[in-house]
A and B are shown apart, each in its own frame.
Chain A
Amino acid sequence: MVRNGCKVLAVKAVFLFLWLVSSPVWATAEAVAIEGPQRPWWFWPIVLFVFCFVLGIIAVLAGVGGGVLYVPLVSGFFPFHLDFVRGTGLLVALAGALAAGPGLLKRNFANLRLALPVALIASSCAIVGALLGLALPTNIIQIALGATIIFIAALITFSKNVERPVVEKQDGIGGAFKMAGAYLEPSTGENIEWKTHRTLPGLLLFIVIGVMAGMFGLGAGWANVPVLNLLMGAPLKLSVGTSKFLLSITDTSAAWIYLNQGCVIPLMAVPSIVGLMLGSFVGVRILAVAKPKVIRYIVIVVLLFAGIRAFMKGLGI
């Protein structure tokens, strides 16, 4: 009964989300941007809070980070400039990662020895990405964002992560950084030991991931997990946990760049952060009893839709 109730709630959340995206509210968004304020000051923050609350539920159910949905959807359907959306998107992803980090670290689902070398590369490159993102013309960023979101939708569709990749021999760099450990798998009561391989190509890929995270304010869980899991051979659970924790470091460096440039407006940042965090808590509770796969497919469609919209917005269509 509880399971059915949660499924109904999950489906309702998706429909509310789709209704929000297709609502006439968005039709007026650009008009408001051009013509000036026509609504009371509290209107957009409240809409943003509700939108982010639903987004938080859906992100958890679909197994994607909040930032990757937040930036394309809010920049596509709200009257906010992409500069502020990216700054807030990083804070949203950062707040979620900081809140999840302690539990993941304590249970060994995230590992400092795996995260630190990767984080140094990703956070340095995220600064470069943020500086580039703020220097390039908005339409170029919008086109690149659209293309990236479409790529992410394809990646989510076709990427087949491996629960426990086989790593026969650890490579030299992984060994030097002692990238190995163990965690308890609660579902089987088994201790899972792990080590990495192909560490150098993995580290090099984090250059690209860092730049993209900083440039688009997306967070980077969508890219972290496949690299840690499929390339470096970390078990899926560890890859997901370490990726989430990694965001707290990568996004910190980029968030400061946006913050220092003035890209954070509290009236849009706080409702976004709080809405998404509350939604994530509700999403985790729903996820414990229901795994509606259909939501993952809906999110892929929404990402495609948002990606195409961002792409066309960049082209001025």
Chain B
Amino acid sequence: MTSEAPQAPPEQITYANLLFYGSWGAIAILLITFGVYVSGIFESYIPINEVSQYWSMPVSQYVHEANVPTGWGWVTLLGKGDFLNFIGIALLAGMTIVCFIIILPYYVKQKDIAFIVLVILEVLVLCLGASGLLGTGGH
């Protein structure tokens, strides 16, 4: 006899739906922007045939020699084909933060203090990581 599948809690379903559309949307954007980049429609910040000169360097040397911005500096270069790809990458890396913010009201409604605190702390940790405030400048 087959049992009925236990239902996932509503906050878990909301998280799943948001993650589904967000991450696949981000991957679609990544594919489109990469197509734009390699087709040369937009000028690249680092010419595409010069990229291989940099990828064998330590990141600190690459940032210095190619004069690449760190932190959120890429936002100012979105008109460049290579940095256009960072929209999809940032969306991929940002989806989890959005999902946690969206499910917070469920725990508030349940008056589940432990999970309200956990979700808030998790959002703060992820935002701190994303902020660009932490960094050593590489080795």
Contacts and interface: CB of A to CB of B under 8 A. Distances in A.
Interface of A: 32-34, 36-37, 39-42, 44, 79-81, 83-84, 87, 91, 94-95, 98-99, 101-103, 105-108, 111-113, 116-117, 119-120, 123-124, 127, 131, 134-138, 176-177, 181-184, 189-191, 248-249, 252-257, 259-270, 273-274, 277
Contacts of B101: none
Contacts of B17: 102
Given A112-B9, A123-B122, A182-B6, A262 B53 contact: no
A277 to B, nearest CB: 7
Given A105-B13, A136-B139, A182-B6, A257 B1 contact: no
B8 A105 contact: yes
Nearest to A116: B118
Interface of B: 1-6, 8-9, 11-13, 15-17, 19-20, 22-24, 26-27, 30-31, 34, 37-38, 48-59, 62-63, 68-72, 82, 85-86, 89-90, 92-97, 103, 114-115, 118-119, 121-122, 125-126, 128-130, 132, 134-139
Contact of A184 (B3, B26, B30): B3
B5 to A, nearest CB: 4
A84 B139 contact: no
Given A98-B19, A184-B5, A252-B96, A127 B129 contact: yes
B9 to A, nearest CB: 7
B138 A261 contact: yes
12 contacts: A81-B55, A105-B13, A106-B13, A112-B11, A120-B118, A127-B128, A138-B58, A138-B139, A177-B114, A266-B86, A267-B37, A269-B89
Given A80-B55, A127-B125, A253-B129, 8 more contacts: A81-B56, A91-B92, A123-B125, A184-B6, A191-B5, A254-B129, A259-B86, A269-B89
Nearest to A79: B56
A256 B122 contact: no
Contacts of B103: 112
Contacts of A117: 118
B34 to A, nearest CB: 4
A233 to B, nearest CB: 18
